[in-house]
């Protein structure tokens, strides 16, 4: 091989190295360090004494290619801790195995594939749900003319915890009452219904100014504690309420300076508020969500 050929071969080798260098990257792979947006409008509702359901408005990050799901972290004031990773289809999300009266904080985090996350939190406690009374029958409060009881004890400790419909002879145990006199349908604080209480005086029950028009108690989600409303000893005249579904109210039962909070659903039928029992008496049917632990108004939102 002559000298000239060697020069050509060397030049070609050098050119090949230069081309290879130009085609290679010197900056390395690009890392996406973005942080997702947090969920908004986080709310909760109590389904029963061991179950809570939460829901939220999804952030725009849910449609991002980096989206990896949600983390739901639960901590309780009983020192319990639990974490779940869920997908977007689990909103609303149901949490089971809880304890009535324990205040849990649920932190919902939007998670990206790079591990970054951001979220919002809400504190909540499960509460008892009663569809039936202590006799395992629907919860009925009867018209004033009935002898079967126009007052309701929301939580009957002695009789098995469920609500108990009571006559005026047991008015001292009333927490909620019905008055159908004078062409009205009054519900609310027994102390504001002018029955002739000759065997005692009902305790104090206060009614919130917040009401809901929903099919079920499951549909009433809250983002703030129930004591945020204005409470008064008062009655509500159902004949003046325009309700499409059922009326849901918030009440609190006072004992000394402590309160037990509850939600009461008043059923409305196609024929109106009052239904007719087999014996001919008129009645209202109720569903009750009751918090046994005092001064626990269910929810408190934080960020």
pLDDT tens per residue across span 87-104: 999 999 999 999 988 999
Q: How many helices (H) and strands (E) does the chain have?
A: 1, 21
β-pair partners for 124:
104
Specify the pLDDT at position 299. Answer: 61
299 with 223: CB under 8 angstroms?
yes
- Domains of the chain and any CATH numbers: 40-124 (2.60.40.10), 129-297 (no CATH)
Tokens of 107: 């932190």
| Closest C-alpha to 106, from 116, 115, 119 | 119
Cβ partners under 8 Å of residue 69, min gap 6: 85, 86, 87, 88, 111
Q: Is 11 helix (H, G, I), strand (E, B) or coil?
A: helix
Give long-range contacts, CB 8 A cutoff, 24+ apart: 129-132. 129/46, 129/47, 129/48, 129/49, 129/217, 129/287, 129/288, 129/289, 130/162, 130/163, 130/287, 130/288, 130/289, 130/290, 131/287, 132/162
pLDDT for 16 equals 53
* pLDDT attached to residue 10: 43
Between the alpha carbon of residue 237 and those of residues 127, 148, 196, the distances in Å are: 27, 21, 20
Among 141-145, 159-163, 255-259, 264-268, which stretch is predicted with the lowest mean pLDDT?
Answer: 159-163
pLDDT band at 11, cuts 50/70/90?
Answer: very low
43-55: pLDDT as tens digits: 999 999 999 999 9
pLDDT range class, residue 161, cuts 50, 70, 90: confident
| Whether the predicted pLDDT of 25 surpasses 50 | no
In the chain, the percentage of residues whose pLDDT exceeds 70 is: 88
pLDDT for position 15: 43
Instruction: Decide if pLDDT at 7 tops 70.
Output: no
* Beta bridge mates, 43: 55
């Amino acid at each position: 091989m002559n000298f000239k050929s060697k020069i050509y071969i060397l030049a070609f080798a050098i050119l090949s190295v230069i081309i290879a260098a130009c085609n290679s990257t010197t900056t390395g792979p690009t890392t996406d360090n973005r942080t997702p947006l947090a969920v908004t409008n986080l709310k909760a509702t109590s389904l029963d004494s061991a179950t809570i359901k939460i829901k939220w408005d999804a952030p725009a990050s849910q449609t991002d290619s980096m989206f990896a799901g949600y983390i739901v972290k639960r901590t309780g004031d009983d020192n319990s801790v639990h974490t779940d990773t869920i997908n977007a289809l689990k909103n609303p999300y149901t949490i089971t195995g809880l304890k009535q009266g324990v205040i849990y904080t649920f932190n919902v985090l939007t998670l990206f594939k790079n591990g970054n996350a951001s979220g919002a939190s809400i504190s909540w406690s499960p509460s008892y749900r009663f569809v039936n009374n202590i006799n395992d029958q629907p919860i009925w409060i009867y018209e004033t003319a009935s002898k079967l009881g126009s007052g309701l004890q929301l939580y009957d400790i002695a009789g098995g915890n469920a609500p108990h419909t009571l006559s005026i002879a047991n008015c001292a145990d009333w927490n909620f009452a019905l008055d159908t006199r004078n062409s009205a349908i009054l519900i609310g604080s027994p102390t504001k219904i002018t029955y002739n209480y000759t065997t005692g005086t009902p305790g104090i029950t206060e009614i919130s100014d917040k009401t809901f028009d929903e099919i079920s108690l499951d549909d009433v989600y809250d983002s703030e504690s129930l004591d945020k409303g204005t409470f008064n000893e008062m009655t509500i005249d159902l004949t003046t309420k325009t309700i499409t579904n059922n009326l849901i109210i918030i009440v609190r039962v006072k004992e000394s300076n402590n309160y037990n909070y509850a939600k009461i659903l008043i059923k409305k039928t196609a024929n109106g508020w009052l239904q007719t029992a087999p014996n001919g008496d008129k009645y209202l049917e109720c569903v009750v969500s009751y918090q046994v632990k005092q001064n626990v108004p269910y929810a408190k939102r934080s960020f």
